[in-house]
Structure 1
Amino acid sequence: MDLRSTLLVIGGSACSFKLLNTIFRCLPAPESARKKAWRWRNICTSLAHSSLTGTWAVLCLYREPQMAKDLISSHSLSSHSLVAVSTGYFINDFLDGALNQPFKQSWEVLLHHSVVISCFILAATSRLYVGFSVVSLLIEINSVFLHVRQLLLLSGRRNRPGTEISAPRPSVTYSVTSWLTLGTLLVFRVCTAAWMTRWLAANGKHMPRYVLTMGTVGLSLVSTMNVVLFYRLLRADILNNTHSTSRKH
């Protein structure tokens, strides 16, 4: 794609995800989620993006294994389109969060999206570092389970029906989702970020200084957020449940 086509795909993607969010507004939501209708729609839209781009990234790397060896110049129409589509989503989600949430609640997401948008726009418009961007989108595989977990919480389906309020027990669906979230976080967030950091350190000499700086800042931010996210999930779903079980016995 040339530059004009790339920009059209990015804009079209942003508008499409905005339309999808509007469609979710018209669809019925669980009663317990109606007080947080914006968050429900936002997570549903994010789940659609994660499902699409996570699967797309795996297919790109499977069909074009050379991309994993040359993250700078190797790309295809499919991988380039993937980065452009994902850029459009992050632009839409940035605007959605900035306009509908207090800054105190959204600053982490806005900071993350700002870095991702900057890196992805560079890759999409220059057609360089597309492979690097595609590898980073493997993180979206974990985001699928993370978003499903959030939807279960919003819909009030965390605990088994009939369990005592003083000693609630997680439902089977929530427990499975929780463990899959933690497992895929370690594989597709932590390991992916570690591999990308290693690659960046080994190939930084072949990159302009401003690109290396963007990559380093982005990976540092993502790695920090991964550690914080893992701790929060571990505390919420494992440590708290263990303490509850101990108190029961």
Structure 2
Amino acid sequence: MDLRSTLLLIGGSACSFKLLNTAVGFLPTPEPSRTKAWKWRNISTSLTHSSLTGAGAVLCFYLQPHIAEDLISSCSLLSHSLVAASTGYFIHDFLDMALNQPLKKSWELLLHHSVVISCFSLAAASRLYVGFALVSLLVEINSVFLHTRQLLLLSGRRNRSGPEILSPRLSLAFSITSWLNLGTFLVFRGFTLCWMSRWLACHSEHMPRYVLMMGTAGLTLISIMNAVLFYKLLRADILKNTSKSSNNH
């Protein structure tokens, strides 16, 4: 795939996710989330991206295990297309947040997306480091549960200790999603980012300095953001419930 085809794929992906985002607005929306219609559309679109790219990354490594042996120069049509399509999604989501959400609420994600777009664009355009970008897409497996949790909260389906209790069944759904989110967070965010950092350090002599600096800065920023996010999730879903349970006894 040449550079022109790559740019067309990135642009086509961005437009496709924009169309999906618009289409979600015409679907039935849970009543509690109607006051936050933009957020519901945004997270629903993000869930679709996470489901596709998380499964796609696993499929790439399964069908083409040689990619894992050389994350710098190994590149296949499937892996390259997946990274390019994901770049298009992050461009769409960056613009969606920038246009619809106050900067004070979105600056962290805008910064995160800027880093990802820069790194993925480099991989897609040069056809180098595609394998490394593919490893980072394994993080999206956790994002499936993270976005599902957000949609449950928007729809009012909180856990038993929350202010909105619709039914024990829905409370159980939130609880299961919460635990799956925390578990996959440790595996597919924590372990993956640690492995990527170690790999970057071990292969630093094989990379141009600007690529090494870009990768190091990106991984450092994303690791810090993920550590903060994990603490917030742990405090909201586990520590608060434990504290309330202790007070009740």
TM-score greater than 0.5 by the shorter chain: yes
Work out whether residues 68 and 131 of structure 1, in 8 Å CA contact, stay in contact via their aligned partners in 2: yes
Change over 3 Å in CA distance of 1:70–1:166 after alignment to 2:
closer
Decide whether the 8 Å contact of 2:159 with 2:165 is kept in 1: no
- One-letter amino acid matched to 1:218: G
Query: How far has the Cα of 1:78 moved from its partner?
Result: 0.1
Map 1:62-101; keep pairs closer than 5 Å: 62-101=62-101
Residue in structure 2 matched with residue 234 of structure 1 by the alignment: 234
Does the 8 A contact of 1:67 with 1:75 survive in 2?
yes
Contact 1:167 / 1:248 at 8 angstroms: preserved in 2?
no
The list of structure 1 runs, each at least 4 consecutive aligned residues, that deviate by more than 3 angstroms after superposition, is 163-170
The separation in 2 between residues aligned to 1:167 and 1:100, in whole angstroms, is 30
* Cα separation, partners in 2 of 1:164 and 1:34, compared to 1, 3 Å: closer
For residue 118 of structure 1, what is the aligned residue in structure 2? Answer: 118
Could you tell me which residue of structure 1 aligns to residue 154 of structure 2? Answer: 154
TM-score computed with the length of structure 2 as normaliser: 0.96
CA distance in 2, matches of 1:159, 1:20: 29
Deviation at 1:222, TM superposition (A): 1.2
- What is the aligned length? 247
Identity of aligned residues (%): 72
Following the alignment from structure 2 to structure 1, what is the Cα–Cα distance between the partners of residues 242 and 159?
15
Aligned to 1:49: 49
**1:34 aligned partner:** 34
Partner in structure 1 of residue 137 of structure 2: 137
Q: Deviations over 1:191-234 (max 9, x none)?
A: 00000000000001100000001100111011111111110000
Distance across 1 between alignment mates of 2:241 and 2:92: 36
Aligned counterpart, 2:175: 175
Aligned to 2:196: 196
Deviations 1:76-100 (A, max 9, x none): 0000000000000000000000000
Change (3 A) 1:8 1:116: same
Confirm or deny: 8 A CA contact 1:119 1:214 kept in the other structure. yes
- CA RMSD in angstroms, aligned pairs only: 1.7
Measure the CA separation in 2 of the matches of 1:78 and 1:144: 21
SS of residue paired to 1:28: coil
Gaps of 5+ in 2: none
Residue aligned with 1:137, SS: helix
Question: What are structure 1's unaligned runs of at least 5 residues?
Answer: none
Q: TM-score, normalised by structure 1?
A: 0.96
Match for 1:105: what amino acid? K
Kindly state the Cα deviation for residue 246 of structure 1 after the two structures are TM-superposed: 1.2
Give the CA deviation at 1:63.
Answer: 1.2
Distance in 2, matches of 1:149 and 1:159, equals 11
Change (3 A) 1:133 1:166: closer
